[in-house]
Amino acid sequence: MMIRHADLNDLKAVAALEAACFPPSEAATEEQLRQRIMRYGDHFWLLFEDDRLLAFADGFTTDRPDLEDEMYEHADLHNENGDWQMIFGINTHPDFRNRHYATRLMEAIIRESRLTNRRGLVLTCKETLIPFYRRFGFEDEGMSASVHGGVEWHQMRLSLTGEQPQMRRRDRKVRAFSELEQILRSGRIVHLGLMDSDCPYVVPMHYGLEIENRAWILYLHSASSGHKIDLIRNNPVCFAEIDCDMELISGGDNACSYGAAFSSVMGKGTVEVLEKPEEKIHGLQVLMEHQTGRSFEIAPSATEHVCVLKVTLPHITGKKRRKPFEG
């Protein structure tokens, strides 16, 4: 089984599955699905077995807190930096239901919404499906104002607020998975914060990036002993910050008008010391390819006297300030 996002090559399969799952009064048309994929293909989740599409879910992001009927028809209302991930439908082929495919899709959507620091998820459903969504933590907010398809809908919400602090300068936040990945791949140094007894301990380290089930993984290398290794073994909780694209913004003769263009990400996670030679080799290969753009063969003997660290960041926040256009 594989879950991935959508592009226009998937349109025919998506439209056919949509038509198989909903009556015409509720189903999106092929043209509506085309507009959705063009506008927010990264907010489709397609579940495949080999080359066959068995289930999919879709919905855009917005700052509006409630799911409104016009959202189904107007893909241009999508706001990539929106607080709320709307879910327009979870569709499983009638021949493949009761195999937990909808559960797998919902888990993927929730995981990605956390990774991109959304406030939460919103959907509408018929009364019979309320218990299913409650299993994921959704709360029933009562009858929705929606008249989609001429039936009654309950609005349900899963709040992720509190899992990450909200950013003050929302105009600079980065939430698109692809943009977050671009920042992480552009960076070379991570500032790793560790828990010391009486104050934070921060150390800059080269890193390599890997995305594992759409989670952020950083591999670092170090001497096999030292203060940071002692801290990690005592407490694996860490905080990571990466920045790049730094450039001064001139304020001329006014000191208070100066600023800086930048891109950055940060997040709380855990760090572990890898012990198995094959894990250490993999981590070092990821690190070297990230830093040099080249692939390397690494012998097991080369890992004997080096420490390889694996940082897992379940949630990150991104921020970017672009340099003003100078015409």
> Is the predicted pLDDT of residue 286 greater than 90, yes or no?
yes
- Using DSSP bridges, classify how beta strands 120-125 and 84-87 pair: parallel, antiparallel or unpaired: parallel
> Is the predicted pLDDT of residue 163 greater than 80, yes or no?
no
Note the pLDDT of residue 327.
44
Mean pLDDT of 164-169: 56
Opening angle at CA 221, ends 218 and 225, nearest 5: 130
**Is residue 85 within 8 Å of residue 42, measured between CB atoms?**
no
pLDDT tens-digit series, residues 190-247: 999 999 988 899 999 999 999 886 679 999 999 988 999 999 999 999 999 999 989 8
Note the pLDDT of residue 321.
87
> Is the predicted pLDDT of residue 248 greater than 80, yes or no?
yes
Note the pLDDT of residue 325.
62
Note the pLDDT of residue 167.
55
Does 4 or 145 have the greater pLDDT score?
4
Note the pLDDT of residue 170.
62
81: nearest Cα among 191, 167, 182: 167
Does 45 or 213 have the greater pLDDT score?
45
Edge to edge, the sheet with strand 44-49 lists 2-4, 44-49, 52-58, 89-92
> Is the predicted pLDDT of residue 171 greater than 80, yes or no?
no
| Other Cβ atoms closer than 10 A to 191 | 14
Mean pLDDT of 92-115: 90
Enumerate domains of the chain plus CATH numbers. Answer: 2-159 (3.40.630.30), 170-321 (2.30.110.10)
Mean pLDDT of 149-175: 74
DSSP code, position 324: P
Which of 45-54, 98-107, 143-152, 189-198 bottoms out in mean pLDDT, i.e. has the lowest?
A: 143-152
pLDDT tens-digit series, residues 64-99: 999 998 998 899 999 988 889 999 989 999 999 888
| CB-based contacts of 168, cutoff 8 Å, min separation 6 | none
> Is the predicted pLDDT of residue 161 greater than 80, yes or no?
no
Note the pLDDT of residue 271.
95
Amino acid in position 314? P
Q: Using CA atoms, how far apart are residues 87 and 58, in angstroms rounded to an integer?
A: 6
Which of 108-117, 170-179, 253-262 bottoms out in mean pLDDT, i.e. has the lowest?
A: 170-179
Mean pLDDT of 100-112: 92
| Other Cβ atoms closer than 10 A to 10 | 20
Q: Using CA atoms, how far apart are residues 124 and 110, in angstroms rounded to an integer?
A: 16
Which of 51-55, 233-237, 256-260, 320-324 bottoms out in mean pLDDT, i.e. has the lowest?
A: 320-324
- Using DSSP bridges, classify how beta strands 61-62 and 84-87 pair: parallel, antiparallel or unpaired: antiparallel
**Is residue 319 within 8 Å of residue 173, measured between CB atoms?**
yes
Opening angle at CA 217, ends 213 and 218, nearest 5: 165
pLDDT tens-digit series, residues 122-151: 999 989 999 999 999 999 988 888 887 787
Note the pLDDT of residue 297.
93
The per-residue b/e assignment along 213-235, b for 16 or more CB within 10 angstroms, e otherwise, is: eebbbbbbbbeeeeebbebbeee
| Other Cβ atoms closer than 10 A to 56 | 26
> Is the predicted pLDDT of residue 322 greater than 60, yes or no?
yes
Q: Is 129 helix (H, G, I), strand (E, B) or coil?
A: helix
Work out the mean pLDDT of the chain and round it to a whole number: 89
The pLDDT > 90 percentage for the chain reads: 64
Instruction: List phi, psi (to 5°) of 154.
Output: -100, 135
| CB-based contacts of 216, cutoff 8 Å, min separation 6 | 115, 180, 184, 209, 267, 269, 312, 313, 316
Q: Using CA atoms, how far apart are residues 128 and 132, in angstroms rounded to an integer?
A: 8
C-alpha dihedral sign at 187, 168, 122, 63: negative
Mean pLDDT of 10-33: 91
